[in-house]
A and B are shown apart, each in its own frame.
Chain A
Amino acid sequence: MSTAILSTPFQADFDANSQEFSLAGVIRPRSVDEIAPSISAFRSAIEEARGVLYINVKRLAQMNNTAFHAFSRVVLDACRTRSDIRFVVVTSSVVGWTERMFRHLGKIEPQITVEVYDSKFYPGQSFVEDTSFIPILRTQTKMTWRHERTILPRHGMRPGIVMADICCGIGDFAVLVRKEFQPARIVALDHSKASLAYARDVAANFGISDIEYTYGDASEMLLEDNQFDLVTCRHSLQIFNQRDLLLKELYRICKPGGRVYITNEKNSHCLGEPRAQSIQWTYDEVARLFSHFEMDVELGPKSRRYLADAGFDDILVESFMVTNHDGDPQDFADVITAWENVYAGEMAVKRGDPPEFIERFRQGFRDHIFAALHPKGYAGWPIWAASGRKPL
């Protein structure tokens, strides 16, 4: 049996400020004595708490019955002696059995309730998980792939590797990578069930059965530590508000000596001729609009700093420009149309922008399309591709 599958020790922490007791990892003790320190920390947390104590088990990957009974005992006993306190168990929709197990406690004591953590915790998630994004993602990947297929080998892509594509969207990148580079294993994770269903359908239609599409939360993954030679995360760091958390997870699942590859945009550098000024104005506003929803679509050039702060070394950053001359200009125009629909049609409306603003905002996208389809025009969308090595 290889040591790689030894379970990592579990964590039990109490945050007094948020009155939250968290259990994470794999808790499979032989007897209660082995987890006695955590049980007594849990007791003290309850003693200290006023009103509501949150019990966060979102990152609890495994817990055996011995541990479940021990922790349950403490909560149930507390319910009997403290009528002034309520318990909210926060489970993850990813780890289905924890929800099933903890729900029983509420049947015994009504002071205990279970909440399933879901997408509402990400400010921009509802836009990003919107199914109307699906066709855009597809065309986007088609356009970026022309560049990335030559870039990727410099960032650790090669045949036979074990890789993960985190925030895989509709999974077309995984399909392209599988065909071009033949990795030994690909895990592709996303938090959108609609995108995953689409990904699985596409794979099935191509007769592909070896890409492991999985539902998960990139900031709290069930994947084990030190597993992958290459972890890719494309166009997604920029949409997270807790970027450090995501990078920490990417780092965790990467093998020492392996690499994490990220791509991000700098939207204010989208450009076009003719009508450069109107285009420029709109994309400056795009960056502002995203930051309103705590997303940073200006992140591209900051990749080096993010990777360095997350502990990576041997950092490599490069950029490329997707243009209307890569393949069919109509593809470029279609992507911009989709951006206009979501950014001007949904996000600006949600922010409460006045109609005059929205009209001017839309005009820049239309001018970008005009530039893309103009026989002498030029339209560009710049991307930063960066990777870092997890030190040995």
Chain B
Amino acid sequence: MNAAQRQPVETKFEPLLQFEMEMGTFLSDWHHCDQLSTYVARMISHNRTDPVRHSNFFSSALNELLEVSFRGGSPEGRIGCAVYRQGPNERVKLSFPCPPGHRQFFQEAVARTHRNDAYARYLDAISTDLAPSREVILLDLAINFDASIRLEEDKPRSVTIVVDLPLEGIVS
């Protein structure tokens, strides 16, 4: 079964917010990750049961994704991020340009979040790796935020990561 067949019906997710910017601009300052995640989290959380805590959780997850695109993205093209909602779940769809060959890397990292040994790999990475790899960050989202992660088929030289976060259930 390929990724496209596994997709849930898109229409059930309502769009909440989306932004796009030149990748070059995004990459010009590391703090953009923190600023954008804080801002987007605040905007989309205001009507959740506990807006402040929802925003804190969401910002954590989104920041990690933005950091992944900051570290792995290439400067030509645009980065786009859209947030959707369906009941207690938020979906983040993040697209950004990346060097050739990186898509393959992301596919493997995403596939590992679905494997049975995901937690063992995560613990192993915390206890042995010097710095977190992109794979560990995706594992972190899957394990600490109960995220389910997939990749969407995309133009060459860019990736689109789709992350579903059931935060309302965790927060309240």
Residues in chain A within 8 A of chain B (CB atoms): 1, 5-7, 26, 28, 30-32, 61-62, 64-66, 68-70, 72-73, 76, 94-97, 100-101, 104-105, 107-108, 187, 189, 196, 200, 209-210, 212-216, 222-223
Contact = CB atoms under 8 A, between A and B. Distances in A.
Contact of B31 (A6, A68, A72, A214): A6
Interface of B is mostly: helix
B136 A97 contact: no
Given A28-B33, A28-B34, A94-B53, A64 B67 contact: yes
B64 interface: yes
Contacts of A7: 31, 34-35, 38
Contacts of A6: 31, 35
A215 B35 CA distance: 24
A158 B132 CA distance: 49
Nearest to B145: A97
Given A64-B67, A104-B126, 7 more contacts: A28-B67, A64-B63, A65-B67, A73-B130, A95-B56, A213-B49, A215-B53
Contact of A62 (B36, B59, B143): B59
B132 A62 contact: no
Given A6-B35, A66-B131, A108-B126, A97 B144 contact: yes
Interface of B: 30-31, 33-36, 38-39, 42, 46-47, 49-53, 56-57, 59-60, 63-64, 67, 122-123, 126-127, 129-132, 136-137, 140, 143-145, 170-171
B139 to A, nearest CB: 10
12 contacts: A7-B35, A7-B38, A61-B56, A62-B59, A66-B132, A69-B129, A69-B136, A95-B56, A96-B57, A96-B171, A97-B57, A215-B53
Nearest to A6: B35
Given A1-B35, A6-B31, A65 B50 contact: no
Contact of B39 (A5, A187, A209, A210): A5
Given A66-B132, A101-B144, A187 B49 contact: no
Contacts of A28: 33-34, 63, 67
Contact of B52 (A66, A107, A108, A214): A214
Contact of B64 (A26, A61, A64, A215): A64
A222 B126 CA distance: 27
A116 to B, nearest CB: 15
Given A6-B31, A7-B34, A65-B132, A76 B127 contact: yes
Nearest to B32: A1
Nearest to B61: A97
B39 A69 contact: no
Given A97-B144, A108-B123, A65 B51 contact: no
A216 B53 CA distance: 8
